[in-house]
Structure 1
Amino acid sequence: MRFIEEEDLLRFLTSDEVCTILPLFEGAVETSRITKSSFRNWVVQAYVERKSLAHSLNDTKTAVHQLHKIASAIVIVVIVVVSLLVMGLATSKVILVVTSQLLLAGFVFQNSCKTVFESIIFVFVMHPFDVGDRCVIDGVQMIVEEMNILSTVFLRFDSEKIYFPNSVLLTKPISNFRRSPDMADMIDFVIDFSTPLDTINNLKKAIQTYIEGKPKYWNQKHTVIVKEIENMNKLKMCLCVTHTMNHQILVKRICEKQSSFSS
Structure 2
Amino acid sequence: MQMIVEEMNILTTVFLRYDMEKIYYPNSVLLTKPISNFRRSPEMGDSVDFTIDVSTPADDINAMKKAIQVYIESKPKYWNPKHAVVVKEIENMDKMNMILCVQHTMNHQNYGEKSNRRSELVLELKRIFENQGIRYNLLPQELHVTQLNLNNNGRLLS
Report the TM-score, using the length of structure 2 for normalisation. Answer: 0.63
Determine whether 1:246 maps to 2:107.
yes
Runs of 4+ in 1 over 6 A off after TM superposition: none
Once the two structures are TM-superposed, the CA of residue 262 in structure 1 deviates from its matched residue by: 0.8
**Alpha carbons of structure 1 residues 160 and 190: separation in structure 2 relative to 1, 3 Å:** farther
Query: Per the alignment, in what secondary structure is the counterpart of residue 15 of structure 2?
Result: strand
- Write the mapping of 1:1-263 to structure 2, written as runs, cut at 5 A: 140-157=1-18, 162-230=23-91, 233-263=94-124
**Alpha carbons of structure 1 residues 142 and 195: separation in structure 2 relative to 1, 3 Å:** farther
Of residues 252-261 and 161-170 in structure 1, the stretch that sits farther from structure 2 once superposed is 161-170
Question: How many residues of Structure 1 are paired with residues of Structure 2 in the alignment?
Answer: 124
Q: How big is each residue's C-alpha offset from its partner over 1:65-104, in whole Å with a ceiling of 9 and x where there is no partner?
A: xxxxxxxxxxxxxxxxxxxxxxxxxxxxxxxxxxxxxxxx
Of residues 222-231 and 182-191 in structure 1, the stretch that sits farther from structure 2 once superposed is 222-231
Once the two structures are TM-superposed, the CA of residue 207 in structure 1 deviates from its matched residue by: 0.5
Tell me how large the CA RMSD over aligned residues is. 2.6
**Alpha carbons of structure 1 residues 203 and 168: separation in structure 2 relative to 1, 3 Å:** same
Structure showing the higher strand proportion among its residues: 2
* C-alpha distance in structure 2 between counterparts of 1:163 and 1:186, whole Å: 35
Query: Per the alignment, in what secondary structure is the counterpart of residue 171 of structure 1?
Result: coil
Structure showing the higher helix proportion among its residues: 1
Once the two structures are TM-superposed, the CA of residue 166 in structure 1 deviates from its matched residue by: 1.9
**Alpha carbons of structure 1 residues 220 and 165: separation in structure 2 relative to 1, 3 Å:** same
AA of the residue aligned to 2:38: F
Query: Per the alignment, in what secondary structure is the counterpart of residue 251 of structure 1?
Result: helix
**Alpha carbons of structure 1 residues 212 and 162: separation in structure 2 relative to 1, 3 Å:** same
**Alpha carbons of structure 1 residues 151 and 205: separation in structure 2 relative to 1, 3 Å:** same
* C-alpha distance in structure 2 between counterparts of 1:228 and 1:172, whole Å: 39
* C-alpha distance in structure 1 between counterparts of 2:75 and 2:46, whole Å: 15
* C-alpha distance in structure 1 between counterparts of 2:58 and 2:35, whole Å: 43
Query: Per the alignment, in what secondary structure is the counterpart of residue 141 of structure 1?
Result: coil
AA of the residue aligned to 2:120: S
Could you tell me which runs of 5 or more consecutive residues in structure 2 were left unpaired when the two chains were aligned: 125-158
AA of the residue aligned to 1:248: Q
AA of the residue aligned to 2:108: H
Give the structure, 1 or 2, with the largest relative contact order (CA under 8 Å, sep 6 or more). Answer: 2
Report the TM-score, using the length of structure 1 for normalisation. Answer: 0.41
AA of the residue aligned to 1:212: E
